[in-house]
Structure 1
Amino acid sequence: MARLVITDVNKCVGCMSCMFACSRRFGEGGLAKSAIHVSSIGGVERGYKVVVCRACEDPPCAAVCPTDALVKRPGGGVLLKAEKCIGCGNCARACPIGAVQWDFENNKPIICVHCGYCAEYCPYGVLQLVR
């Protein structure tokens, strides 16, 4: 099973192309539905932080879900069963790297599914889908 990896965060220039690409999975034009997050840690001089699910083998987000809305994904990480989610936010609080983004419109987590769509749009090769 494939998983998304950050190959070299130092190559990131903060263009957010990956975030825009991810949001398009949901038919959105902005950044609100992106499962990946890029932010500045001091601009071009100090670099950028790229936060994306690291595909934990024993995901803490799934462990704290009271409705089993997050199920382990083969190869690591989780998949969201949105119909089971009650929007409690436990998953977002449990992620040690802050990779669970939040859909405020639907009050549900935005979970990276490791599709690699974002990597296709990264012009600097920061992200890669590994099989």
Structure 2
Amino acid sequence: MSCMFACSRRFGEGGLAKSAIHVSSIGGVERGYKVVVCRGCEEPSCEAACPTGALVKRKDGGVILNSSKCIGCGNCLRACPIGAVMWDYEMNKPIICVHCGYCTNYCPYGVLILAR
């Protein structure tokens, strides 16, 4: 979970509440873990679901949030087919990976990479 803590630190947070990546067990050490993070869709369903244009498609896939346009409707959260839109309950806005690669520096197992 060090990658999750690293991601939250991007926002100056010490916990996991602002992490754009989620790692969870799929059955203990024997079965492994799953990582849920934005895969940088070429045609992001979260962007299409946003009624205000708050999500803007990135050149290399995925989206960037224009927070001032976001009304907190949650359409993007429900539209993501892999559940990679996390939610900031304090701000009532989505948290979506910006593909900065910061988390990759904190994965002790080398599982995470940032492909460009």
TM-score (norm. length: structure 1): 0.87
The aligned runs of 1:66-85 (5 Å cut-off) are 66-85=51-70
In structure 2, C-alpha distance between the alignment counterparts of 1:121 and 1:74, rounded to whole Å:
26
- CA deviation digits over 1:14-57, x for unaligned, max 9? xx010000000000000000000001111101111100000000
Give 1:130 shift. 1.9
Structure 2 unmatched ranges of 5 or more: none
Q: Higher RCO, 1 or 2 (CA under 8 Å, sep at least 6)?
A: 1
2:23 corresponding residue in structure 1: 38
In structure 1, C-alpha distance between the alignment counterparts of 2:20 and 2:49, rounded to whole Å:
19
| SS of match in other structure, 1:128 | coil
| SS of match in other structure, 1:102 | strand
Greater strand fraction, Structure 1 or Structure 2: 1
In structure 1, C-alpha distance between the alignment counterparts of 2:108 and 2:92, rounded to whole Å:
32
Of all paired residues, the percent bearing the same amino acid is 83
- CA deviation digits over 1:54-95, x for unaligned, max 9? 000000000010000000001000000000000000001000
The aligned runs of 1:1-131 (5 Å cut-off) are 16-131=1-116
| SS of match in other structure, 1:71 | strand
Give 1:104 shift. 0.2
1:8 corresponding residue in structure 2: none
In structure 2, C-alpha distance between the alignment counterparts of 1:130 and 1:59, rounded to whole Å:
18
Point out 4+ residue stretches in structure 1 off by more than 6 angstroms.
none
| SS of match in other structure, 2:8 | helix
Structure 1 unmatched ranges of 5 or more: 1-15
Give 1:108 shift. 0.1
TM-score (norm. length: structure 2): 0.98
